[in-house]
Structure 1
């Protein structure tokens, strides 16, 4: 299989975080064009989008409710199976080849050493024969001779062991090398087959979309209507928290900022899909996917705080709070708001310090991707500012409820 060397450019990363949510928000509001029977048609641009992002799994076929998408799955799993065997064979080949190299080096080194030892051994035996019986010189030569014989024996043992390892591991290296080449070719052929199917589907996509839409009759699908009703009710439930009046502008800002960053989760799906394919299909794990996504989720967590506060989605213990009347709830919120503003103020101040320091030194990540950190730290400031503004709006609405006893959604604030 060929390797992937693509590294996401920094400018494309930031453009993706800005442009994709805007396009998604527009598409979510526009929806798909309904048929006379209130059925929604399949979209050709969306079909091509699914082909590009999930074509290796045939997801575009499943989007169009075509069972031919099942043809992609065996090929994709065959690639995963082949790559798993290829990795095993590559590891075995690497280990065996390393032992072969070490054994060859040992044989060369010890053979030359053994030849020198043999020459020295012959010289020592001549010296022993010439030495006077019982003399100190003869005892010295005998000791040197024994030491040289032990050294010679040790070299011969190392040579014998290296030759045995060379014979055994050379067979393993040849076998695993052949297995690696076989599975590499097998995976590549499956990959080419998937590319051929994707190219064919890219040409046939307009016809496939027309056929999928032709299968739609004039009867409304209760399942689709139920899904639409749930989605609409969830949207309206969250949207109902936006008050009227001047505080409603802050509520709207919190609402749309939360909706904006929510679509970043969809980006994560695409990026991690690419990471899985790059890692397990092409054996080319990225050095940017994980870092880019966890930094993105950090910003999402910070910026969506105001949205969570607006929709009352934060986790809290409300055993005593829930049964209270609207006026008493407002009183409790006003009394406890001092703790909220302390927290939000500290978050804003420290976030500003962190962001300013990171901007001044142009702080970047420690990975090979070298992504600038200062935009992420300014997200702390943005998130804290949104939370402070939402806290001000909530405080104003609580004072109104305290004065009138009417929830903020009932009348203008």
Structure 2
């Protein structure tokens, strides 16, 4: 189980290593947009829209990596004081009852919109914007897929942890 979990982790490690650069690119594009607008009085809609695309890609594609490094927001009332085994049980229940089903449902219900967007090669959100809304919509199933992959990796580790009661998993 550990080998499979590690193999699944590698997907989000690779995506996370790539996606992290979007933050720097986004800041630079936003800076350039502001300089162009306020120093030179020039505005380009596609530049402003590119910040939206970069922001969406950063968060949607980085969600699996965030789960991998356990950096998601967690409402912790009792969790921190529980034993390792009980934490694993809560994480198992959370993954099987909430994370995985919700990702499957989001992917299922968003797929027709994504498919239709690709079918017509849906264009820009705004006039003069980036003519690729279909790419933006494609982030939804990618988000779901990456979170399912990482959710399964975490689930495998938590199952081993619960079974063994140690951190050997």
TM-score calculated relative to the size of structure 2: 0.90
For 2:40 and 2:103, locate their aligned partners in 1 and report how far apart those are by CA, in whole Å. Answer: 46
Residue 123 of structure 2 aligns to a residue in which SS?
A: coil
Residue of structure 2 aligned with 1:373, choices 133, 136, 142:
133
Query: Shift of the alpha carbon at 1:299?
Result: 1.8
Instruction: Give CA-to-partner distance per residue, 1:29-49, whole Å, 9 cap, x none.
Output: xxxxxxxxxxxxxxxxxxxxx
1:260 aligns with 2:41: no
Residue of structure 2 aligned with 1:342, choices 101, 106, 125:
101
Residue of structure 1 aligned with 2:54, choices 287, 296, 311:
296
Residue 302 of structure 1 aligns to a residue in which SS?
A: helix
Query: Shift of the alpha carbon at 1:244?
Result: 5.0
For 2:146 and 2:90, locate their aligned partners in 1 and report how far apart those are by CA, in whole Å. Answer: 22
Query: Shift of the alpha carbon at 1:370?
Result: 4.5
1:359 — aligned with what?
A: 118
Segments of structure 2 that go 5 or more residues without pairing to the other structure are none
Instruction: Give CA-to-partner distance per residue, 1:168-225, whole Å, 9 cap, x none.
Output: xxxxxxxxxxxxxxxxxxxxxxxxxxxxxxxxxxxxxxxxxxxxxxxxxxxxxxxxxx
Taking a change above 3 Å as real, the CA distance of residues 277 and 389 of structure 1, as seen in their structure-2 partners, is same
2:162 — aligned with what?
A: 402
For 1:317 and 1:323, locate their aligned partners in 2 and report how far apart those are by CA, in whole Å. Answer: 13
Residue 276 of structure 1 aligns to a residue in which SS?
A: helix
For 2:129 and 2:90, locate their aligned partners in 1 and report how far apart those are by CA, in whole Å. Answer: 48
Instruction: Give CA-to-partner distance per residue, 1:98-148, whole Å, 9 cap, x none.
Output: xxxxxxxxxxxxxxxxxxxxxxxxxxxxxxxxxxxxxxxxxxxxxxxxxxx
Higher relative contact order (CA 8 A, sep 6+): 2
Taking a change above 3 Å as real, the CA distance of residues 244 and 342 of structure 1, as seen in their structure-2 partners, is closer
For 1:380 and 1:304, locate their aligned partners in 2 and report how far apart those are by CA, in whole Å. Answer: 12
For 2:136 and 2:151, locate their aligned partners in 1 and report how far apart those are by CA, in whole Å. Answer: 23
1:331 aligns with 2:89: yes
Segments of structure 1 that go 5 or more residues without pairing to the other structure are 1-242
TM-score calculated relative to the size of structure 1: 0.39
